[in-house]
């Protein structure tokens, strides 16, 4: 089965599992929904046979003082460093000023149960990221302890 057909079947099964009646979804379908205060998306990777999980976590103040922005970026890099050893969810800031979380799953080894489990875990990690980011005291931030970050980012 080709990538587009596999994804279309997977996203249709996911929609049914989530309670939506969505027959005929295709490979261009982007499933978008709200979860707590996140906007989450599931879509086909544009260049590889993979499913992308993405969440808009929160707004980032792109007009903040440069020193504050630098602290936020450093914090983000520290979180990503810790994440690579635990859950693999990557965070970045979009050009539109959104803190985004993303993860991907190889399509060849992803069935609906795997996707549901990964999505549940991804949403937990994204919610934790939102709390960490919003609770950071940008005026007094210091280099976070990597082990504390690792433990804080595990779901």
pLDDT at 140: 44
pLDDT of residue 118: 95
Decide which of 2.60.40.420, 3.20.170.30, 3.30.1460.10, 3.30.565.10 is the CATH code for 32-39+46-153: 3.30.1460.10
What is the mean pLDDT, run by run of 10 residues, along the chain of 155 residues?
90 89 84 93 95 94 84 86 84 93 94 95 93 70 45 47
From CA 49, how far away is CA 98, in angstroms rounded?
26
Task: Yes or no: say if 101 and 90 are a contact pair by the CB < 8 Å rule.
Answer: yes
Q: How far apart are CA 104 and CA 74, in angstroms?
A: 24
Residue 91 and residue 80 in contact, taking contact as beta carbons nearer than 8 Å: yes
Q: Kindly calculate the radius of gyration of the chain based on its CA atoms and give it in whole angstroms.
A: 17
The pLDDT value recorded for residue 23 is 77
Continuous segment of H or E residues that includes residue 99: strand 98-106
At residue 150, the pLDDT reads 44
Report yes or no: 30 and 42 within 8 Å, Cβ to Cβ: yes
pLDDT of residue 121: 94
Residue 5: per-residue pLDDT? 92
Burial (0-12, 13-18, 19+ Cβ within 10 Å), 22: middle
pLDDT of res. 68: 83
pLDDT value at residue 85: 81
Contacting residues for 110 by C-beta, under 8 A, at least 6 apart: 10, 51, 118
């Amino acid at each position: 089965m080709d990538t587009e057909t596999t994804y279309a079947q997977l996203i249709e099964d996911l929609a049914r599992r989530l309670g939506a009646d969505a027959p005929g979804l295709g490979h261009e379908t982007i499933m978008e929904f709200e979860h707590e205060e996140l906007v989450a998306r599931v879509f086909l990777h544009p260049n590889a046979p993979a499913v992308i999980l993405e969440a808009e976590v929160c707004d980032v103040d792109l007009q903040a003082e440069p020193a504050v922005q630098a602290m936020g970026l450093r914090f983000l890099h520290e979180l990503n460093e810790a994440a690579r050893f635990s859950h693999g969810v990557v965070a970045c800031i979009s050009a539109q000023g959104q803190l985004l979380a993303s993860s991907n799953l190889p399509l060849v080894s992803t069935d609906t149960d795997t996707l549901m489990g990964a999505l549940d875990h991804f949403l937990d990690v994204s919610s934790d990221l939102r709390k960490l980011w919003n609770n950071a005291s940008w005026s007094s931030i210091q280099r976070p302890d990597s082990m504390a970050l690792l433990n804080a980012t595990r779901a």
